[in-house]
Structure 1
Amino acid sequence: MAAGGGGELHVVMFPFLAFGHISPFAQLALKIVGVGGVRVTFLSAVANVSRVEAMLGGVAVAAVVALHLPRVPGLPEGAESTADVSPDGVELIRIAVDGTRPQVASLLAYLRPDVVLFDFATLWVADVAAPLNVKAVHFSVVSAVCGAYLMSVG
């Protein structure tokens, strides 16, 4: 499982800033690096880096890159995941995540990964990845049954 030139496959992962999303992405990262020939770069907010690194267990082929969230009116100072806000603040976290688009675009251009895995809240990652010829894959942490139900009642 290696990139086109026979080297290692480089995967960037960008989950939503909720630990119910970050954890499954980290579990997937551990599974794919365990296959061998795969390197993962994980994107998360500054305040989450140490927790994500702990989830990855110091795996040498996984790195965590800090994103700097922009200030969003109403979002408490230092809030960088849904764990830091009330349920009403989750939308403000999503707005802050949208504000990382220029950082993510620059990182993808610099890192030149083979593929980027993104979450439900960052569908724009596919638009950023396309001109760079980086494959973009939506990784859903929600089960297919739950997703089908939500789509049918929406």
Structure 2
Amino acid sequence: MKLNITLLSTLMLFLFTSEAFSQSMSITLAEAQRISDAAQARAQQDNWNVVIAILDDGGNLISLRRMDGTQLGSIEVAIEKAKTAVFFKRSTKVFQEMINDGNAALIGMPNVVAVEGGLPIKRGDTIIGSIGISGVTSAQDGIIAEAAVKIIE
């Protein structure tokens, strides 16, 4: 009986510890909202209307914001840019540059949106999520994303 209680206690401790650890490695809703606020503020500086998608480290949608007047097509593009950034742990601009340099094989690669505007979000050196911006030019989307992730890094 004593062994069962010890085993159960150890198991419970492991479960609670691993749950807390896994939660601390992903972006929180509060962080996602702060990043989204920063992205919107940067977009508003230039009167740009965009969609802002924030994903956790597993590629799950945490926050989606569509600014007034932004085309509906940008919703899915922003989400897919964010997926690319978190799945491949790099900026979507990297893929855009690779295609521009002649690496056409990337065009058909699953889960790759090779257009600037998607970035990983890091806490220290750990990727905790990603952001995708869509609605203006890809370079402008990238400017907004860069400004937004700086509030966490």
**TM-score category of the 2 structures, normalised to the smaller one:** 0.3 to 0.5
Greater helix share, structure number? 2
TM-score by length of 1: 0.35
TM-score by length of 2: 0.35
Larger radius of gyration: 2
